[in-house]
């Protein structure tokens, strides 16, 4: 199969320019124009534009894509605006497109560049949170951790900072800081966002972790080990992170009304938590040992949906009676 893939790549390398030339002669439009005029706004258009730009052999366009991939600071709105304007002008120049005749193309291509940049900015922001370890010596981190407890257990006070009470909301031991090692502060931020913005749903799902059938399993060490709400939440952060980094999540993010940002990521995380809870109950697992299998099926289903460029996940907070 490897030689077939290489053969296909070689054929495509030589045939694609011929196809583009033929279509330009017959439609009088370049590939980017055909995409911007023919594809609906959102993932369908922006992903096609991205693919077209990445496949370009023109040095000036390749430099645009190189700058997009290597820039590590999109915090300045002026920098973003300047980059978008200069990139669009470069494309217009390379493709010999007259601005006065194709104002809609300028608007559409600019919108695509803004989405591409916003996604890359989101990746950098998420990565910064993930690589920030939880530090018990930082007051800010401790305050956020205590906020999570108050949001999930508003009627109970913590007896002390290190206590088995943390296991009631799904941490593994007496000190939650050890559970954030994999996802860093990103895991905590996601949990807090869910518990704060969708408190009823979060506490309802927490109640599922205490369910007599689906919240516990038999163990040699402990006959009633709780389904770990917080640990599941951190696992789902890892899932959301993977989908973001390998760019599968672009489909959903590019179909949102607003540009992708950290709030969009947190909101998607909430969607994952709610839907995974439903999926878990529908699967009627024998015990918690089935978690990995069910999680992998759930992720596979998500990836299949994200292959459809019209996909945009909607958070459904319908409460069940389990």
Residues 182, 299, single domain; the answer is: yes
Q: For residue 167, is it within any domain?
A: yes
Q: For residue 130, is it within any domain?
A: no
The number of domains in the chain is: 2
Residues 217, 106, single domain; the answer is: no
Q: Can you tell me the distance from the alpha carbon of 206 to that of 277, in angstroms, rounded to the nearest whole number?
A: 10
Residues 159, 294, single domain; the answer is: yes
Residues 113, 143, single domain; the answer is: no
Q: For residue 267, is it within any domain?
A: yes
Which residues does 110 contact at the CB level (< 8 Å), separation at least 6? 84, 85, 88
User: Does residue 160 carry a pLDDT above 90?
Assistant: yes
**Size of the chain in residues:** 322
Q: What pLDDT, in 10s, does the model give residues 63-87? A: 999 999 999 898 889 999 999 999 9
Q: What pLDDT, in 10s, does the model give residues 166-204? A: 999 999 999 999 999 999 999 999 999 999 999 999 999
Q: For residue 49, is it within any domain?
A: yes
User: Does residue 245 carry a pLDDT above 90?
Assistant: yes
Q: For residue 129, is it within any domain?
A: no
Residues 146, 222, single domain; the answer is: yes
Residues 180, 299, single domain; the answer is: yes
**pLDDT at position 218:** 35
Does this model's pTM top 0.85? My answer is: yes
Q: How many alpha carbons fall within 13 Å on the CB side of residue 117?
A: 23
Q: For residue 316, is it within any domain?
A: no
State which of 84, 119, 154 marks the end of a domain. Answer: 119
Residues 146, 115, single domain; the answer is: no
Residues 115, 204, single domain; the answer is: no
User: Does residue 126 carry a pLDDT above 70?
Assistant: yes
**pLDDT at position 29:** 83
Residues 98, 222, single domain; the answer is: no
User: Does residue 321 carry a pLDDT above 60?
Assistant: no
Residues 148, 287, single domain; the answer is: yes
Q: For residue 131, is it within any domain?
A: no
Q: Which two tokens stand for residue 80?
A: 């973003």
Which stretch of 151-160, 205-214, 309-318 has the lowest confidence by average pLDDT?
205-214
State which of 58, 87, 119 marks the end of a domain. Answer: 119
User: Does residue 254 carry a pLDDT above 80?
Assistant: yes
Q: What pLDDT, in 10s, does the model give residues 16-59? A: 565 554 445 555 589 999 999 999 999 999 999 999 999 999 99
Residues 17, 151, single domain; the answer is: no
Q: For residue 318, is it within any domain?
A: no
Residues 213, 166, single domain; the answer is: yes
Domain that holds residue 230: 139-306
């Amino acid at each position: 199969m490897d030689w077939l893939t290489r053969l296909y790549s070689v054929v495509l390398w030589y045939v694609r320019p011929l196809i583009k030339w033929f279509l330009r002669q017959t439609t009088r439009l370049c590939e980017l124009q055909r995409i911007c005029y023919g594809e609906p706004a959102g993932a369908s258009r922006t992903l096609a534009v991205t693919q077209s730009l990445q496949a370009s052999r023109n040095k000036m366009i390749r430099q645009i894509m190189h700058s997009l991939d290597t820039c590590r600071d999109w915090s300045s709105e002026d920098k973003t605006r300047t980059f978008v304007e200069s990139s669009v002008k470069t494309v217009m120049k390379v493709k010999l497109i007259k601005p006065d005749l194709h104002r809609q193309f300028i608007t559409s291509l600019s919108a695509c560049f803004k989405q591409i940049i916003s996604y890359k900015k989101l990746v950098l922001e998420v990565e910064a949170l993930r690589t920030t370890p939880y530090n018990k010596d930082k007051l800010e981190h401790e305050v956020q951790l205590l906020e999570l407890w108050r949001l999930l257990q508003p009627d109970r006070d913590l007896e002390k900072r290190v206590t088995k009470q943390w296991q009631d909301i799904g941490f593994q031991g007496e000190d939650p800081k050890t559970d954030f090692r994999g996802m860093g502060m990103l895991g905590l931020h996601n949990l807090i966002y869910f518990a704060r913005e969708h408190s009823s749903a979060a506490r309802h799902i927490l109640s599922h972790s205490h369910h007599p059938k689906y919240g516990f399993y038999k163990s040699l060490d402990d006959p009633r080990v709780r389904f770990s709400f917080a640990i599941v939440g951190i696992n789902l952060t890892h899932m959301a992170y993977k989908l973001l980094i390998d760019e599968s999540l672009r489909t959903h993010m590019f179909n949102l009304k607003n540009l992708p940002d950290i709030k969009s990521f947190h909101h998607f995380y909430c969607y994952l938590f709610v839907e995974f809870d439903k999926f878990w109950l529908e699967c009627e697992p024998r015990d918690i040992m089935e978690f990995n299998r069910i999680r992998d099926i759930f992720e596979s289903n998500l990836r299949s949906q994200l292959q459809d460029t019209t996909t945009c996940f909607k958070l459904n907070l319908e409460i069940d009676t389990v």
